[in-house]
Amino acid sequence: MSDSAPLNSFPAEIGSSKPDPILTVDDMVRTFGGLRAVDINHLEVQRGIITAFIGPNGAGKTTLFNLITGFDKPDSGSWVFDDASIGGKAPHIIAQAGMVRTFQLTKSLAKMTVLDNMLLGASNQRGERLRYALVPTQWKKQERQVLEKAEDLLDRFNLAHMRDEYAATLSGGQRKLLEMARALMSEPRLILLDEPMAGVNPALVESLLQHIENLRDEGVSVLFIEHDMDVIMGISDWIVVLAEGRIIAEGTPSEVSKNPAVIDAYLGSSIAEELKDV
């Protein structure tokens, strides 16, 4: 647990205010035809902890991620990241502001090496500007620093032995690791992980969870999506439960797991689904 405010000090109710929110969302609505995919009045995400979005399939988790990070546009709504209003900004501007995301279906850059994937992640690179690109003396020094950081992260994520291989040769789990490590290259203040455990070999899940906890301990705020309840309970500090586009509950894992609305919407639906197969 981080050394910021004790979590039981903020109320486990929908839209509760947090002592030090890194992300605040207000009146966000996104409709697809007649479907209200996301409909949120107020949401605050506390700095320095691991927050999880959970909910059954179609609850609007990924849509909410897409909206927050600028990959999709809401019908209405505003959101503030670290005191800067980023509503309606382009995805790359939001990423540059310090909020970096990963994707549910990993986007490893297949025909680039693992190392190049990592180097790409670093922000504010001089050599990425056209006017300096042809003059290596302008960017060689920074490139060495970026390289050092990349090798360090590859070590931590157990990918160092793959550094010169094409990213396409990685296994599904390794790609998840690579994507997470690559996002960290830019030193984000908030990292959004979309189902980081989906499709990952169970043996790797443990180490992935460890990485996520390490991030928090280093001061990065983590927001992640998962629909596997068991995974979430152990690792999250705070849980936001979504169903049909709305937040139906918020709280610590133990509070949420006792919440009747959650049991009804989440566990209930999965039981109903299981019964269907019988």
Partner 1 sequence: MIMNLLAGIDISKLLGLALRTSIGVQSAVFALAAVGLNLHYGYTGLLNFGVVAFMAAGAYGMAIFFTQGWLGGSILLAIAAGLVFAVGIALSIGLPSLRLRADYLAITTIAIAEVLRISFRSQRLLDLTGGPFGLPSIEDRNAEVSFSEIITVDWNPINDGIYGFWRLRFDEQTLWVMILGWTLVLLSTLLIWGLMRSPWGRVIKAIREDEDAARALGKNVFSYKLQSLIIGGMIASLAGVTRAMNTGFVETQQFKPQTTFFIWTVLILGGAASIWGPVIGAMAFWFIIIFVEELLRQMVDSGWVPEAVLASNDIASVRMIMMGVMLGVLMIWRPQGLVGKKEEAQIDVR
Chain residues that interact with partner 1, rule: CB under 8 A: 69, 71, 90-93, 95-96, 100-103, 107-112, 116, 119-121, 123, 125-130, 132-134, 136, 139, 143, 166, 168, 182-183, 185-186
Give the C-alpha distances (Å, rounded to integers) separating 253 from 199, 230, 237.
Answer: 23, 10, 7
Shortest Å distance, C-beta 206 to partner 1: 26
Strand 238-243 relative to strand 50-54, pairing: parallel
C-beta closer to partner 1: residue 15 or 166: 166
Gap between the Cα atoms of 278 and 222, Å rounded:
39
With H, G, I as helix, E, B as strand and everything else as coil, classify residue 29. Answer: strand
Shortest Å distance, C-beta 123 to partner 1: 5
Token duo for residue 144:
């060495």
C-beta closer to partner 1: residue 166 or 270: 166
Shortest Å distance, C-beta 199 to partner 1: 17
C-beta closer to partner 1: residue 78 or 125: 125
Token duo for residue 10:
């903020």
Shortest Å distance, C-beta 169 to partner 1: 8
- Spatial contact of 247 and 25, defined as CB atoms under 8 Å apart: no
Residue 234: count other Cβ atoms within 10 Å of its Cβ.
9
C-beta closer to partner 1: residue 18 or 30: 30
